[in-house]
A and B are shown apart, each in its own frame.
Chain A
Amino acid sequence: MPGRLPRVLRGKLLPPAMAIVFSALLCTVALLISAGSPGTALAAMVSQVGKGTTAVDILNSATIYYLIGVAVAIGFKMNLFNIGVEGQYRIGAVTGAIVGGATNLPPVLEPLLVILSAVAAGALYAALPAILKVTRGVSEVITTIMLNAVSIGILALLINEKTFGVLVNNNIATKPIPQSGWIPGVSFGSHGTLFGFVVVAIAVGIAYWVMLNRSRFGFELRASGESPTAAMAGGVNAKRMIVVAMLLSGATAGLTALPELLGRDHVYTQLSPQGYGFTGIAVALLGRNNPGGIAFGALLWAFLDQSAVSLDNVGVPKEIVTIMQGAIVLSVVVSYEVIRRFELAAEQRRVGAQLGTATVAAAGGAS
């Protein structure tokens, strides 16, 4: 098999390369419209990484994006579109913050309690769409989107002086988590502090890899995604898979806001960062649902987010970054599809040649 290695490499390397070229083209067009120079813009963004706390900020953001990216990927692996990670992570965060504020356990136990309650709340909030999908056949896409909106109302209801809110610096927030519940970070002096939660994110990545590649559940998950009929014929209970995958996805989403909650803010407010859910979807798409790929996607996304500030210095609106992100996601999904078709056609031709039949006949008859 002399041709094998290059072909595998081509399948792995060509799509990202194509995506980069394509999205660079789109961004160039957007930059030229605003009379900016693509070269200076890119240079400004790259040099921003070395300045101030940007490098650490990128890693911190990437930690958050990675957690939520994995949460989305668990569903995507079996073609389950959990668009609701946004609501699940916020419900998880507020539950964790409330539980943390109400208890005062010794160190290690306290953060563990916060983490567990956030995970449980995230899973619980994902349970409704899962149940509706398996019992009533309602598309999870619509229910989760609606629950995202409802979660904002639930937050407003929970963080309220009549319920669990207290006034902290003119801002209604949950009761602060006692110091025993904080997860200390790694300080880099003037370059910022890295979240200690980065360890948890790495652990989640490893667990996700092991689950996918080394467990029966992971095998069934991938099988359900690639061919539901084959999986069912192989004895996989489709309904059970949907519920378990959805709960796992929601549980992982529950971790998302904890780096900030346990490592920096210690309270949760209605103004706490939101919108990670859609970042998570994008990052999972960029990473092709692979543990390593998601890490790359999270870092890229964090880089674009954090070094966008530098664009204002070279006279380009920093909002162009959101176009870049959208363009990159679209380019990545399109390039992978194009390469997949190309590989499929090449495979058919190769098989046709090996069987000794004419190439044309093989390509026509195989489907």
Chain B
Amino acid sequence: MSLLTNSTIAPSGSSATTRHRRLPSWGRGLLWTLLAVALLTATADLTGLAAITASPTVRAGVQLAIPILLAGLGGLWAERAGVVNIGLEGMMILGTWGAAFAGIHWGPWAAIVGGAVFGALGGLIHAIATVSFGVNHIVSGVALNLLGAGIAKYLSSLVFAPITHNPKQSPPVEQLDTYSAQPLAAWLKGLEEDHPRYVLSDVAGILRGLVSGVSPLTMITVALLVLSYFVLWHTRFGLRLRSCGENPVAAESLGIDVYRQKYLAVVISGGFAGLGGAALVLAPGLNIYLEGQTNGRGYIGLAAMIFGNWRPGGLLGGAALFGYADGLATLTNGTTVLGLFYGVTLLCVAIALVQLYHRRWTAAGVAVASSAVLYLVYLSIDALPSELTSYLPHIVTIVVLAASAQRLRMPAADGLIYRRGQAG
């Protein structure tokens, strides 16, 4: 009886995507990228704030986006299998310790492995609690965040304190070399700096930030993103894993070992979060374990994944947004950050025009009103208070989720507790 009703719910999504003649997903990605570049360029030129599209800003943004992207990938794996992973933060903290420990002893490449292994251990604990024992996923995640912070603190005072005489930090880890795509980077440098030209040097600045000073970890992360997409959406294993997140009872009836899939997904998820921790330890200019260095990035990664509608492409967009906001807030001052308000005003006007075209009057009204408010804020103050600029990514998260949350669709059985044989 229950099997019949369940199986009718299972196939969804495929019919929704073919409803209109919609762009393929890569086309939409390209469109959004072009839109973002155009928006930043317009903002930089119209406000005269060159830092918005300068290559250092973009490069910092990429570096700051990497841990968020990795944490988000962790969230993607777990939630596609139906396990909410609010414990990403704790796993990331474990990863920072593991990376620093392995990095000090065996070099930076070992640090990457160490971070992933420690994160995966955290994932294993979360899997045991949520899958085997059926603990509420958020409760277990919160407990894991406490435990992860505690373990890292304890191990750090045990292992690092004798060397550094400071229980809160580790000795430096050897740095990874960074690479630039030559001669492209040099050519872009010429375009950006020699004779600054309207629009052209802005685009060159953004591109140069993307192709110069690239850490191997960045390349690994991008490769892992593509790999995750391929494995989750184009292999049998991925289909099985996602079926556990959509309808575990139906998956079970088809002979899939749901527990095994969920365990694998959550352990992999922890490994990704741990890699994110390793990326923080290996970040250029820091290269140490520092207590509290994750600073909520696990949560931001989770938010990036939600913003990306539980899809890798969207996740990349979310991570880029938060990384860029973080980079801009770190490298520049309140005036430049305020310049972004101008950019968002432009975006709101564009949204309003699109909504008017579709005759959605309320949505257009909201967009017009918010653009007016933002423009007034932009005109009335000179700079965003410096105390608030460093929380730009967090504020962006709230605003973006408030604007997009209702159009998102999470895996149908995400966060629900599943027991083997519960269908009866």
Contact = CB atoms under 8 A, between A and B. Distances in A.
A138 B388 contact: no
A329 B145 contact: no
Interface in A134-152: 136-139, 141-143, 145-150, 152
Contact of A150 (B148, B391, B423): B391
A68 to B, nearest CB: 14
B402 A132 contact: yes
Contacts of B397: 142, 146
Contacts of B134: 337, 341
A184 interface: no
Interface stretch (A98-106, A238-246, A277-285): A277-285
B336 interface: no
A156 interface: yes
Given A322-B154, A323-B147, A325-B150, A146 B398 contact: yes
B138 A333 contact: no
B261 interface: no
A235 interface: no
A203 interface: no
A54 interface: no
B380 interface: no
- Interface size class of chain A, counting residues whose CB lies under 8 Å from the partner chain: 35 or more
Interface string A101-129: 00000000000000000000000000010
Interface in A201-237: none
A142 B135 contact: no
A141 B405 contact: no
A148 B398 CA distance: 12
B78 to A, nearest CB: 14
A320 B154 contact: yes
A367 B140 contact: no
Interface in B140-159: 140, 142-151, 153-154, 156-158
A60 to B, nearest CB: 22
A192 B148 CA distance: 34
Nearest to B306: A142
Contact of B139 (A34, A128, A157, A333): A333
Contacts of A52: none
B281 interface: no
A319 B154 contact: yes
A220 B350 CA distance: 45
Given A81-B138, A143-B398, A149-B394, A137 B146 contact: no
B131 to A, nearest CB: 12
A149 B296 contact: yes
B256 interface: no
B424 A282 contact: no
Contacts of B401: 132, 136, 138-139, 142-143
Contacts of A160: 387
A334 B127 CA distance: 12
Interface in B71-86: 86
Interface string B378-411: 0000000101101100110110011001100000
Interface residues of B, number: 50
Contacts, number: 143
Contacts of B391: 149-150, 152-153
A146 B300 CA distance: 8
Contacts of B154: 30, 34, 317, 319-320, 322-323
B418 interface: no
A327 B422 CA distance: 29
Contacts of A152: 391
A3 interface: no
Nearest to B167: A319
A6 interface: no
B129 interface: yes
A83 B157 CA distance: 28
Contacts of B405: 132, 136-139
A32 interface: no
Given A138-B402, A150-B395, A333-B139, A367 B424 contact: yes
A323 B150 contact: yes
Given A146-B394, A160-B387, A327 B402 contact: no
Contacts of B144: 326, 330
A333 B135 contact: yes
B129 A330 contact: yes
Given A142-B302, A326-B143, A364-B424, A334 B406 contact: no
A320 B153 CA distance: 8
A367 B151 CA distance: 40
7 contacts: A145-B299, A146-B397, A146-B398, A282-B142, A323-B154, A364-B424, A365-B424
Closest 10 interchain pairs by CB? A326-B147, A322-B150, A156-B387, A319-B154, A146-B394, A326-B146, A153-B391, A317-B157, A323-B150, A157-B387
